[in-house]
Structure 1
């Protein structure tokens, strides 16, 4: 689905000091190497660019889920992993959905910024090729948030 191809690990000296982005103690840490692998981001996306995109994604997602988080904390849960629910591979579904939302928001951010990398004809073609992926990432973000909150994915009204 992504327009990027894996190009191996980032060159030495270009990784995040701890390889993670942490937000509030409630939300799980985001592993940058795992995210890079999931999104198949190559080395043209530098660690600082990736960190910037993940931070923007985390701010956006955390704001959307703030009311839900506050409810859970009021119920006595100090971390997302503690909130009761179904698990997949031993990890709560909510953790998977949270990470999915962060990944999708990061993917959209990186794709949008990648457009400005190369303004030659091949760069313009590449930007056109990845444009649908931006929409796909935005859709995946919306679905992950809606699934997280337990709401339906589609709203239909008769006009």
Structure 2
């Protein structure tokens, strides 16, 4: 798949194959969903996506083993409602990986510019990073069927 991305092209952003159970990830889709411009190099985005896949896959390893023991070869085979032509579980997995990758990319902006403007931009992005990490947690909790809970100590 190729296409134009502002500040660059995405022709070299091939799908990232997963382990067979979890779906493959399209970097262009991640780029579009998270509004990441061509300022984020394809190699940097790919590394962030791979790291996100490794992290989410590891966190869901036990659940995956249960599903495979039940005879389900892929995430799409696990019974779930379908929305927009895909399993809700596939949507949740993609959301977890996409948000984790985006959080890593956004965090790296801190190292791009050490001027006062760069520090201000990094401070401005901090809530966004926290929100992305929260969305990862919620997507994984939803996939596992766990309740979301936020606890704050006073």
Cα drift, residue 11 of structure 1 = 3.0
TM-score, normalising length: structure 2: 0.91
- Distance, in Å, in 1 between the alignment partners of 2:89 and 2:135 is 15
1:71 pairs, out of 53, 57, 66, with 66
Q: Which residue of 2 aligns with 1:133?
A: 128
User: Deviation per CA, 1:17-62, whole angstroms, max 9, x where unpaired?
Assistant: xx21112000101011011000000111100000010011000000
CA RMSD of aligned residues (A): 2.1
TM-score, normalising length: structure 1: 0.88
1:151 pairs, out of 118, 121, 146, with 146
Residue pairs, 1:46-57, within 5 angstroms: 46-57=41-52
Q: Which residue of 2 aligns with 1:94?
A: 89
- Cα 1:52–1:135 shift into 2, 3 Å: same
- Distance, in Å, in 1 between the alignment partners of 2:102 and 2:18 is 19
SS in 2 for 1:60: helix
- Cα 1:108–1:157 shift into 2, 3 Å: closer
**Is residue 43 from structure 1 mapped to residue 38 from structure 2 by the alignment?**
yes
Cα drift, residue 10 of structure 1 = 2.9
Cα drift, residue 155 of structure 1 = 5.8
Moved more, 110-119 or 142-151: 110-119
Q: Which residue of 2 aligns with 1:107?
A: 102
User: Deviation per CA, 1:90-128, whole angstroms, max 9, x where unpaired?
Assistant: 210000000000011011101111110111121111111
Q: How many residues align?
A: 151
SS in 1 for 2:8: coil
Q: Which residue of 2 aligns with 1:8?
A: 6
Q: Which residue of 2 aligns with 1:4?
A: none
**Which segments of 5 or more consecutive residues in structure 1 lack a partner in the other structure?**
1-6
